[in-house]
Amino acid sequence: MASTATPDTQTHERKRLSALSLVAGLIGNVLEWYDFGLYGYLAPLIAARFFPAHNVILSLIAAYAGFAIGFAMRPIGALVFGHIGDRLGRRTVLVMSVTLMGLATTAIGLLPNYQMVGFWAPVLLLLVRLFQGFSVGGEFTGSVSYLIETAPANRRGYAGSYANIGSSGGYLIAAGLAAITMALISEHPSFGWAWRLPFLGGGVIAALALWLRQRLPMSAYEPDEPAKGEPLPLVKAFRRSPRIMVLVMLFTWGYGVVNYLTMVFLATFASRFGTIAPADALTLNTVAEAVAIIVVPAAGFLSDVTWRRRTLLLLAFGLFLFAAYGFFRLAIYPTLVAFAAAQLGFGAMLGVVMGIAPAMLAEAFHAEFRLSGYSLAFNFGLGLGGGTAPLIATALIDASGVTLAPAFYLMFGSLMAMIALYFMPDRSREPLL
């Protein structure tokens, strides 16, 4: 039978936030979202090198299919890493996931392009994306679970937000390097190979993350040897919390649509369908990520000391629903100031969601099956919603001929997240299950 000890069995006075735990939880997500963001930002370059086509939109759709296929493997990775985390401990998952992700990210920078090996170039790229998706299946949820289980009850929102400080940091680094890469290749076409360098740099982040995570203390919840005939943690999750599983899947589906349309797709949208230069769009996207990093911990802290998490999240997604059409319209307005207003506004709004959602979702599951249930529900929803969002948005434009079609898809995602939130339990500042 798994241990029932949780972080909340200790008093607030005896427990303090560990700087090492916060940084180690943060850096793995820097690597994870650095890679996924980098692929999205450099999609036009990747499309030209791995999916050549006379139709630019079809080539871009093929590149975004590679983006989506990585997400398709995340639920499978979640099954494996969730089980390992619930049966062997959270720290084991954190070390394994960052090692595998670092290898996969580096591999992308070494792949031959279409001109070198023809048909095998996109095949190899998609295989690496599958491996990446698998390896990150337990990264985000594993770090969130570790962070909230080692935090005082009145600081779980703040501690959980560090996972998304890492993801925003990863996006920030990716957007900055992508902007430099795009500008370099635009000015010096002979440097076309330079797109590889940001991916190879992921190996450096992975090495630092591994070094830190090998020094982590064990989580406050550690499993005992399972009794004979005891159900698997995931089976427990579906038997004891089926409603929570469904609601988290629906919420993260909508959340994924909002996340990837506003912070990955919007820069490409503004440059492909508007008049903004790609380098300028990525530069402003970098600034928006910096804004999100500032908002994320503040939002997590506020969810610990002011309104409950569900209320704040409902307000945030309501803002997305209201602003979607206007902000996408601004993105293709022929001035850089208009695009900046849309991108920075989306960044600030998303920062609120990213600061509050981690703790709320992790708190909904019992410690015995927290990582299995949370990982599968989160990655299934995010994989379907977020992973396919740029692909669907581009396809909607192509099929309908309506340039602002992605705005309506963003409204759909916002509404889905709000409906799931309304029915989801809120355990803000209550003892962990």
Binned at pLDDT 50, 70 and 90, residue 67 comes out as low
Report yes or no on whether pTM surpasses 0.85: no
Binned at pLDDT 50, 70 and 90, residue 227 comes out as low
From CA 96, how far away is CA 77, in angstroms rounded? 11
Task: State residue 56's pLDDT score.
Answer: 63
Class of the CATH domain delimited by 17-219+231-423: mainly alpha
What are the φ/ψ torsions at residue 222 (nearest 5 degrees)?
-130, 135
Whether the predicted pLDDT of 5 surpasses 50? no
Binned at pLDDT 50, 70 and 90, residue 8 comes out as very low
Mean pLDDT is highest, among 106-110, 222-226, 372-376, for 372-376
Closest-CA residue to 398 (of 57, 53, 48, 55): 57
Region 169-174: mean pLDDT is 81
Whether the predicted pLDDT of 95 surpasses 60? yes
From CA 418, how far away is CA 253, in angstroms rounded? 11
From CA 183, how far away is CA 241, in angstroms rounded? 50
Task: State residue 323's pLDDT score.
Answer: 93
Domain boundaries, the chain: 17-219+231-423
Whether the predicted pLDDT of 346 surpasses 90? yes
The token pair at 148 is 């909230």
pLDDT in tens, 247-298: 999 999 999 999 989 988 888 888 888 788 877 887 888 888 889 889 999 9
Task: State residue 354's pLDDT score.
Answer: 93
The per-residue DSSP string of 94-158 comes to HHHHHHHHHHHHHHHHH---HHHHTTHHHHHHHHHHHHHHHHTTTHHHHHHHHHHHTS-GGGHHH
Phi-psi region of 17 (alpha: psi -120 to 50; beta: other; left: phi over 0): beta
Task: State residue 53's pLDDT score.
Answer: 62
Residue with more model confidence, 382 or 36: 382
Enumerate residues 6+ apart whose C-beta is below 8 A from 101.
28, 31, 32, 35, 132, 135, 136, 139, 206
